[in-house]
Amino acid sequence: MQILKKTNLKAFEKAKKLGPEGVISLIKEKGLAGRGGAGFPTGTKWEMVRNAEADERYVICNADEGEPGTFKDRMIIEKNPETLIEGILIASYAVGAKKAFIYLRGEYTCLKSKLNKKIKEVLSKAKSDLKIEIFVGAGAYVCGEETAILASIEGKRGHPKVRPPYPTTYGLFGKPTVINNVETLTNVPLAVMFDDWNKDTRLHCISGDVEKPGVYEAPLGEKLSQAIERAKPKGKPKAVYFGCFGGCMPYEKFRDLELRPEKVCEGECMLGSCTMIVVSEKRSIVDVATNIAKFYEFESCGKCTPCREGTMRVLAMLQNISVGDAKPEDIDTLQELAEVIKETSFCGLGQTATSHLINALKFFRKDFEDRIKK
Amino acid sequence: MEDKEAYPDCLGLLPKLEKEQAKKGWISEQALKRISKETGIPISRVYGVATFYAHLHTEKQGKYIIEICNSPSCYLNSSLNLIKFIEKELKIKSGQTTKNGKFSIHICSCIGCCDKAPAMMINKKVYGNLTEEKVKKILKKCR
Ligand code: SF4
Ligand code: FES
């Protein structure tokens, strides 16, 4: 796997020779883009922070992968922490930060002490006086949102904030801040170091109704069926969920779909960070939808009304449908509610909380109708 | 526009709460007051932060806090049966604590072990590929 290659601080040495501006233009040239899902060009982000006027700047490594079905950050932190730390070193050098944070999700607390040891090792080997602090989250999905991370580190409830101002100019404690995720930062030294570094390699996390769940490396644009077959589906796959937020699509109909953000969007899903949860044909989508609705009802941070109240109502209605207690018109009401939540929620969590349901009602409506009281 | 209320030790708030949680297993009212004093952050905000996060508890918990994942990948791998099994074994429901103060059960969101579903954590330690037998053994070790 490309992501597991080591650079042994040689990339950092090279970066220092290039100078901050040099590294930034190299990263831009190589075309590294954020791997969290939004795909913002990394070099451009760094440049914005570097050029923002301030006496202090920060780098935050987002290690709060909370999207259900996603576990590649865990793999990287376990298997290639050196390269991740080197990526943080290079980012901090490029933007002129003296302090960096790794926002580690609470569920990964068990990785903390090993990672801390590695940080010490790498920093002393690099003779760098950068400070890298691990900040452990405490279990909140919304903290994957970058402004919520900032609030969480600043000792507040992890509520998202209005953007703009963006963290690149007004971030942690009001200072310009780079926020990159684990996969992005680990790619930094690899991009700096290797001429054959491929920007179009993606890590797929595949789980659910499969024999071989795991992290797989694949080229961007691979067919959906190729990706799913690799994990050996149990029985015939009925649907693929792109995490909870990315929505779902029927497998047979879209088996030849190319896995590229643009293409998947046309199929009305979001590829995000390439998480795929396989659901086999023996299941009813109503049950999966109810399970996901529970997740969102629990994780809604409560700041805005459509998401806080809406996710609760969606769950209640789905539970009604699953026990066969709903009337035909309830399906239409559910659909309308799902769309209102999508349109009116404040942050990404609420805006995507019902995409799975909207798709499910479009592609698997029969599953819902089958549970309606006759 | 932006709330700039920076308290002297806001950076230390969450770590302090986590430390208390790890040490005592929960965060009592007294502890909240103490942390408010230490950090200079008003008690209302300390309480607000403590109740925001799923891993912080402001009610007394058992010695072993079991958090079982019920997000989709685990759900598709029978997490519901497992939850029922653990509830039966310990004779409590999720969200409750056993009378002897040993165990609490919580249903939680994805813990990033979907490749080893179904998965759970006990006091932050992760256990994956769970079966009823495996869970029985793990619980026995705790007892
Ligand atoms: S959409 Fe949901 S998670 Fe986002 S701010 Fe509103 S309540 Fe919080
Ligand atoms: S869904 Fe259970 S660990 Fe991810």
In a domain, residue A374? The reply is no
- C-alpha dist (Å) from residue A193 to A18, A52, B77, B130: 12, 27, 41, 41
Tell me whether B44 touches chain A (CB under 8 Å): no
> Would you say the ipTM is above 0.90?
yes
Query: Residues A105, A189: one domain?
Result: yes
How high is the pLDDT of residue A332? 96
Query: Residue A110 is part of a domain; what is its CATH number?
Result: 3.40.50.11540
Statement: residue A257 has pLDDT above 80: yes
Statement: residue B6 has pLDDT above 70: no
| Chain A residues touching residue B14 (CB < 8 angstroms) | 135-138, 152-153, 155
B24-43: pLDDT as tens digits: 999 999 999 999 999 999 99
Query: Residues A295, A260: one domain?
Result: no
B64-142: CATH class? alpha beta
Query: Residues A268, A336: one domain?
Result: no
Total residues found in chain A within this entry: 374
User: HSE on the CB side for B103, CA within 13 Å?
Assistant: 23
pLDDT > 90 in chain A, percent? 94
Locate the chain B residue with the closest alpha carbon to A71: B112
Distance (Å, rounded) from C-alpha A319 to C-alpha A327? 13
Query: Residue A355 is part of a domain; what is its CATH number?
Result: 1.20.1440.230
Closest approach atom of ligand 1 to CA A308? 7
Contact (Cβ atoms closer than 8 angstroms) between residue B41 and residue B10: yes
Q: What is the pLDDT of chain A when averaged over all its residues?
A: 95
Nearest ligand, CA A161 = 1
- Binary contact (B18, A138; C-beta < 8 A): yes
Using the 3D structure, point to which of A258, A280, A302 is the last residue of a domain: A280
Query: Residues A56, A159: one domain?
Result: yes
Closest approach atom of ligand 2 to CA B79? 2
Using the 3D structure, point to which of A193, A216, A244 is the last residue of a domain: A193
* Structural domains counted in chain A: 3
Query: Residues A185, A205: one domain?
Result: no
Backbone φ and ψ of A278, nearest 5° = -95, 135
In a domain, residue A26? The reply is yes
Total residues found in chain B within this entry: 143
Query: Residues A261, A311: one domain?
Result: no
Q: Hey, which of A245, A304, A305 would you mutate to test ligand 1's pocket, going by the most ligand atoms within 8 Å of its Cβ? A: A304
Query: Residues A206, A313: one domain?
Result: no
Nearest-10 Cα torsion for B115, A185, A178, A58 = 100
Domain that holds residue A80: 2-193
Statement: residue A123 has pLDDT above 50: yes
- Binary contact (A173, B6; C-beta < 8 A): yes
Tell me whether B48 touches chain A (CB under 8 Å): yes
Distance (Å, rounded) from C-alpha A67 to C-alpha A246? 10
Query: Residues A91, A33: one domain?
Result: yes
Task: Please tell me the pTM assigned to this model.
Answer: 0.95
Query: Residues A48, A181: one domain?
Result: yes
Using the 3D structure, point to which of A193, A226, A257 is the last residue of a domain: A193
**From the CA of B60, how many Å to the nearest CA of chain A?**
17
Residue spans of the domains in chain B: they are 10-52, 64-142
B60-113: pLDDT as tens digits: 999 999 999 999 999 999 999 999 999 999 999 999 999 999 999 999 999 999
Query: Residues A177, A268: one domain?
Result: no
